[in-house]
Structure 1
Amino acid sequence: MSEWAPRRFYKDATVEEAEGGFIVHLDGRPLRTPGKVPLVVPTRAIAEAMAEEWRAQAEKIDPRTMPFTRTANSAIDKVAPQHPEVADMLAEYGDSDLLCYRAESPAELVARQAERWDPLLDWAAREMGARLEPRAGIMHASQPEAPLRILAERTHGFTPFELAAFHDLVALTGSLVLGFAATGQEHDAKELWALSRLDETFQEELWGEDEEAQEAAEIKRQAFLHAHRFFALCQAA
């Protein structure tokens, strides 16, 4: 049995100004979220990206091909009503940040982690005043309170739309530092994703690639790149 999908019921999608931002109209009717709230987004750039997704739909509407619409829905229906809780959850990644947990062996991996991850920890210390310290092994060791507080305050400062994108930047990499790095222009998003996969890449070099694992990783990579672009468009003029 094939999955049910709604048929396209409109001819065109246009962007209009609305109270508090911009909204997509389908043949003159404004979009609403699954929670029945007007789908008003903060920038025209996000609205235009959403409109393009709706224009690109064929005879049947496929939500899987509409990441901007999906993230905007999440920002309004899920993140905004529980902003402090979402921010707290993401800030907790700082105490177990991927970049801080280092291998004890082999020496080649230890050196590679130090070479490629230390500059990001240095960047966080320099740009945000939050110095996280690396640990050898897999046992948890708490980070100092001061840098965690700084990172938490910055996380709470994001708007619901920014926080919705930031959620994926952090959760997909397992790193609060990589998430923050992806919100600016100083670092390349593809390189940041590669840094989050450093351990997996090392294992693939030793034992070869697993096709299913590669496919799963590519899905996550595309989601990370989308979150990076969504965050950038939140700040577009």
Structure 2
Amino acid sequence: MSDWKPKRFWTSGAVVEADGGYTVELDGRRVKTPAKAALVLPTRTMAEAIAQEWDAQDKEIDPTMMPFTRSANAAIDKVQHQHGEVADMLADYGDSDLLCYRATHPEALQKRQSDAWDPALDWAAEMLGARLVPFVGVVHQSQATEVLQQLRNRVHGLNAFQLAAFHDLVSLSGSLILGFAAAQEWRNPDEIWRISRLDELWQIEQWGHDDEAHAAAEIKKVAFLHAKRFFDLSI
């Protein structure tokens, strides 16, 4: 396998206005996505974050150190062309939301779930107009059609950049409600991430710490927090 990496070919990057938003220029040449589309960004703050990533590159370009660039590329090259399909896939989480499936035992875990998850469901009922109902057990039980449609409409209302970030907020947490809660700043994203991992943290308390599982969880946490930052930059 080749270890070739593209070399830095520019001296400095700059944010400039473009049709429909902002873009980044490298020595006057506008950056394009991997699919050769124009990198047009919805806000100047997002463009500035991406320009900083390009300026931070040394002799070789390391895409792993450019998370905002990668998220913007995904929004333009993928999500923008599959918006409806992506929105529907994420909206489907509402009918099997993590927060709605409660433990049958022990009582201590049931109480912890109720204390952490009920406030999120209450927030969604008030702020999103969507009351999801919790159940005991893991057998699927459908939520009310009108509630799911309300949530679906909200997901479809996100633009491609917001939806790219929202994808990770929902899929990493396992909860459509927590995705909205993070996007709309119900609580700080670190706390929302901990709420999403309540069951895993309970298992750690019972059975002990696993280094491999912890490392995987930390990678997901970093991705979740990045998704929140990218969502904020899209507004």
- After TM superposition, is the score higher than 0.5? yes
Is residue 196 of structure 1 aligned with residue 188 of structure 2?
no
**Aligned-partner Cα distance in 2 for 1:161–1:38:** 14
User: What TM-score does the superposition give when structure 2 sets the normalisation length?
Assistant: 0.98
Task: Report Cα offsets for 1:30-82 as digits up to 9, x if no partner.
Answer: 00011111101000000000011111112211111111000100111100111
After TM superposition, the structure 1 = structure 2 runs for residues 111-150 of structure 1, keeping only pairs within 5 Å, are 111-150=111-150
1:38 alignment partner in structure 2: 38
Letter in 2 for 1:152: R
Q: CA deviation at 1:231?
A: 0.7
C-alpha distance in structure 2 between counterparts of 1:131 and 1:161, whole Å: 27
Q: Does 2:61 match 1:61?
A: yes
TM-score w.r.t. structure 1 length? Answer: 0.97
1:81-160 aligned within 5 A = 81-160=81-160
Match of 1:23?
23
Is residue 207 from structure 1 mapped to residue 207 from structure 2 by the alignment?
A: yes
Hey, what does 2:187 align to over in structure 1? 187
Tell me the secondary structure at the aligned position of residue 92 of structure 1.
Answer: helix
State the one-letter code of the partner of 2:154.
Answer: R
Separation in 2, partners of 1:22, 1:112:
45
Q: Within the alignment, does 1:77 sit opposite 2:94 as a pair?
A: no
Q: 1:2: how far off?
A: 6.3
| Structure 2: distance between partners of 1:11 and 1:98 | 48
Distance (Å, rounded) in 2 between the aligned partners of 1:77 and 1:111: 44
Secondary structure, in 3 states, of the residue corresponding to 1:17? strand
Q: What letter matches 2:108 in structure 1?
A: E
- Cα deviations by residue, 1:172-208 (Å, 9 ceiling, x for unpaired): 1110000001111331110000001101111111111
Percent sequence identity over matched residues? 59
SS of the equivalent of 1:172 reads helix
SS of the counterpart of 1:182?
helix
**Alpha-carbon separation, structure 2, partners of 1:203 and 1:40:** 44
Deviation at 1:146, TM superposition (A): 1.1
- Give, in angstroms, the shift of residue 217 of structure 1: 0.6
The count of aligned residue pairs is: 235
Find the counterpart in structure 2 of residue 5 from structure 1. Answer: 5
Distance 2:114 2:186 in 1: 20
Q: Distance in 2 between matches of 1:98 and 1:36?
A: 38
| Distance in 2 (alpha carbons) for counterparts of 1:210 and 1:3 | 33
Secondary structure of 2:38 counterpart:
coil
| CA distance in 2: counterparts of 1:62 and 1:105, whole angstroms | 48
Q: Name the CA distance, whole Å, in 2 between partners of 1:41 and 1:149.
A: 29
Equivalent position SS for 2:82: helix
Give CA-to-partner distance per residue, 1:9-48, whole Å, 9 cap, x none. 1111111111100001111110001111110100000000
| Alignment deviations for residues 68-117 of structure 1 (CA, whole Å, 9 cap, x no partner) | 00010011110011111110010000000011111111111111000100
Query: Hey, what's the Cα distance between the residues in 2 that align with 1:193 and 1:228?
Result: 11
Q: Could you tell me which amino acid in structure 2 is paired with residue 147 of structure 1? A: V
Find the aligned partners of 1:13 and 1:208 in 2 and give their Cα distance: 48
Q: 2: distance between equivalents of 1:146 and 1:68?
A: 36
Distance in 2 between residues matched to 1:86 and 1:44, nearest whole Å: 25
